[in-house]
Structures are given as structure tokens and as C-alpha cells.
Structure 1
Amino acid sequence: MAENKRDKRGLGRGLSALMADVAPVEDPSTDVPAGGHETVVAVELITPNEDQPRRTFDDEQLNDLANSIREKGIIQPLILRPHPRKANQYQIVAGERRWRAAQIANLHELPAIVRDYSETEMLEIAIIENIQRAELNSIEEAAGYRQLMDRFGHTQEKISEALGKSRSHIANLLRLLNLPDDVQEMVKGGSLSAGHARALVTADNASELARKIVKGGLSVRATEALVKSGGGARKSAPKAARGKDADTTALENDLSAATGLKISIDHGKSGESGRVSIDYPNLDDLDRICQLLSASR
């Protein structure tokens, strides 16, 4: 947790300022980040960022980009920093897809903007670029938002304003991270759409329903009906959960969206007391809960 706080203090730059460094421009030479300089760098002197959040690159998309590069060249320069451990080499801050595609297109030199970034700034920019440019699935996009919130302390409102995404879009995607790991993998693999996944967020038997949906090729609307009916779930659901009023359910949904965790509220018989329960799927999320609670002190 101490490291997390140091990262936030050490960053010293706003999300909007970092966005300016990776935003597409028509004429790259007119928009060099402050403190950086534009140059041309040999491909073999460039190495990727080992902590790049995106680990997979679609071959077909890379080939399409390579064809575009052959025809038009590199329109948007890469953003590099001097390699922290290798003399006279550079590390990619933003633009790994362009670097990979350029090699397919047999380019030997690439336009680049070189700037001294800290490790923390480099990671934040890599996350932002992935969200803005790459064709992420819903789970990957949600994970990007979660990283910006957890590691750098950005709020949903701040992310919404800087990235041009609606707050409801961000909140709805964050809720997908409450789904079981196997369901998230189905979304990543493309067998479930984001619409199917959103319908499953409130289901207690999401994994079972997801398998039925994939096997039956159900539409999103059919999925919503299946979830509403219980989809074959056990009939012994707690009475308290079935009897919750609309305000309590709405509050649960808001808290779940804000934290990315499944939160339930159960009122006592008196109506003046009760219990708030937070479900965490792994120890990383437990640590995140501890960080959130500690930050409020």
C-alpha cells in the first residue's frame, strides 16, 4: 500500500496532461510533448515495455496496419524513453503495435518522440493508450479503468472527462470485473458479448448460465430473461435478497460499480441497522479493499 501512495505522489502530472502525449494528431511535428524531441530511430534500437498491459496482438490486425504503413508510412510517431538499463537504446512508452507492424512492413527507421518518463508515468500512458487505441474486449477495457483508479487514484469522473467516455459506460464495464474468472475468459475469447456479460452480473450462478448461453447461442434479450427467471438456479435464495426495496438495490448497484466489487446491503429487522457485505474473488481484490478503507482515514 505504501508503494501505491508513493506512485500517486511521484507522478505529479494530471491524467489530461498524459492524454495529450498519446492523443492522435494530424501533424505530429506540431504536437511534441513538452520536454521531448522528435527524431528518427532505428528499429533495432527500440525495445518493448516489459510491463505493457496488453500482452496479445492480433496477427490479422497487425498485418492490416502493416499494409497501411507501407502505403502511408507512420503517421503518428512512437513515444519512447531512453532505455533505463541499455545504453543507446530506447524503450517504447506508447506505440508497440506500430513498432510491430513496421517490422512486418520492413521499415528500418521510425519517427519517434523521445522523452524522459518515470516508470510510473510510462505505465500510466501505456494503459491510457491501450484504452484509447487498441480494440480491447470489455474485460480488458474494464481492467484498464480499474488500474487507473487503483494505482493512480483517478476517479470515474476524472477518467470519463479525460478519455471522453461516459461515466455510465465506465461504471457498467467495471461491474463486469465482478463476474467469475471463467465468465470473464468467455468474454475475452469472444464467445460472450459485453451485453451478455452485463446481464450476468447480478446472477448468483453466472458460470452455469454462461455455459447455457454459449451452448444455446442465446441473444442478449434471451439472456436477460434467463437471468430474471433464475435460469435453473436453486430456489433457496435468501428471502432478504428477494425482498429488497428498489432504493437498496440501486445503492448496491452504485457501490458495486464504484468499487468494481460485488456489494450487498442487508437491513436488520429494526430498519435502523444492518450489514454491508463485500465479496472479493481473489487476494488482490482483498488488498484493494484494504487500500480503499485505509484511504478514507
Structure 2
Amino acid sequence: MSLSKVVLLSTLLAGCGGDGGSSIDAAPGSIDSAAPDGWTSLLEGDWTLPAGQPDTYYCVYATVPRDMYIKAFRPMIPVGTHHTVLTLFSGASPADGTHLCNVGTNGQSMIYGSGVGTPDFVFPQGVGLHLKAGQRLILNLHLYNATDDTISGRSGTYIQEATASEIQNVAEIVLAGPTFTLQVPTGMSTQSGGCNISAITSQPIQVFSLSGHMHKTGTRVKSVITRGTQEIVLQDEPYNFEKQLFHMVDPPITLQPTDKLTTYCTYNNPGAPKRFGDGSDDEMCFSDLFYYPAQGANFTCSGL
């Protein structure tokens, strides 16, 4: 398997000369010529997987070269990309570049994620992200090759930049649901797990987008808030592993620190029982909450 390349790219400044930006090896501060019009490549990695290569992880590390405000994401998810997770990372090592890693190699706070078939994600007006010069990022790439041929690709994240005045509310994302307690028997079943919102925040938060994450046998996700004797259904949606979508919530839903969130995942499992795991043939069960203001929360919430 080839060592991936990494590049952190920002918008082209007026007057920049030379041939920077013409290839994947462009220096920070240049435009990747392969980026679609209006989009900037934030970070990305090249990879090659031999035929039948099982679940494999590479982590792309990069340092933000300047303050950046983000109003939209677009994933680079060629065939062979199971999902990506983009987190803020506080460590000084390893150096910027791409390294073999595992499913648990992530920073604390998640700012974006993509799965199979994920479309562009555009923040509501006034909402977005602020990356500060010198912050470090990890893009965890979950890769696999289920074909009989060697495949190569480039996985990563494009962004659309905003001005500071456009972003009044800085957002983050949390995945809430069962982890190592999850068991999926053969046949149809619904499994659940919870999250105390107090594990995320000590103040009210505004949820403006929702999704769910399961693997191949998942068919439906339901997210329910318990507030005293009241139950509030946040989402109750069919799930398709090949088309993982976020749903915008307008107006946003206010969650209180005293709330409890329960995620219900329905499965149609034709094979042997499954457990929680990162492999494509394992299973997961998460409600994905995009909210503001950002709390610096751990990006998984589980354990009710």
C-alpha cells in the first residue's frame, strides 16, 4: 500500500507567482488545480489498496496556516472510502503528513464527517466554523477494497470559505448512541443507546442539522429527547448506507443540559449476529448532531 500524500490548501492570494497549486504537492497557501470552482481543498490523502484489502485506516495530519472561516463542506469520497472523520487535534506529533492509524486515532472535537454518498453540507446563514492559525487537524480515512482489482483514490475535504463577519455562531458535531454495548442479532431488530446532554454542554445548544450513522444492515434511525415526562422526536428517518445524508432543522431545536437523548437503530441483518465495530461488516448506531455554540465536547456521547 502506498504512503498517502498530504496537503493543506488555502485560497490563492493575489500576486502569488510560480507554479504552486498545479499538483497535489502544492505548498500551503496555494490552490489545488483539481478543486472545483468555488471550493478549496482543506486536506487530502492519496492511497492505493490491493485487491480485497480489508478495513484500513490512514490519518492525514495538517496545521492550519492562517485563520479560516468555513461556510460549506464537500467530501472527496471515491470508491474505497467508507467514511472520513475530521477532528481538531492538540498534539505536537506526529508531524504533518499521512500515517497509518486506527479507528480510534482522532482529536477530541469533531468538525465534519462524511460517509458513502454524502452530499455537500452548507451551513445555515450565520453559522459555520472558525479554524485558527496554528491549530492542527486530523482527517481519519476509513478505507477498504471489496473488489478483485487494485484501486487508487484521493480522499479528503473541500471547503468554501467565509469572512469573519459572516460567521456569528461557531458549530461542532457530536455522535450520540451506544458503543461497545451494541449487539445486532440475526433478523429484524431495533437497538438503542443514550446520551446525557450534560456530557456535551452546560448551557443550551441549538441543533440545526441531524443525521444518523449505521453500517450495511441499518434501515432506520430515530432520535428522541426526554425532558422530564415529555418526549421530543428529533428525527425518525429511513437509513441507506449508500446515501448518508444530513437533514437541516429550521428553526433549530434547543437542547437543555438536563435533556437525555436516546438513539434507536433498526436493522435487517440476514447473517450472523453483529457487534459494535469499525469494520464495514460490523455495526454502529449513532445520532449525528450538528449544533452551536461549539462546546469543545468529546465527539462521541454514550453510556446511559
TM-score by length of 2: 0.26
Greater relative contact order (Cα 8 A, min sep 6): structure 1 or 2? 2
| Higher relative helix content | 1
| Higher relative strand content | 2
Higher Cα radius of gyration: 1
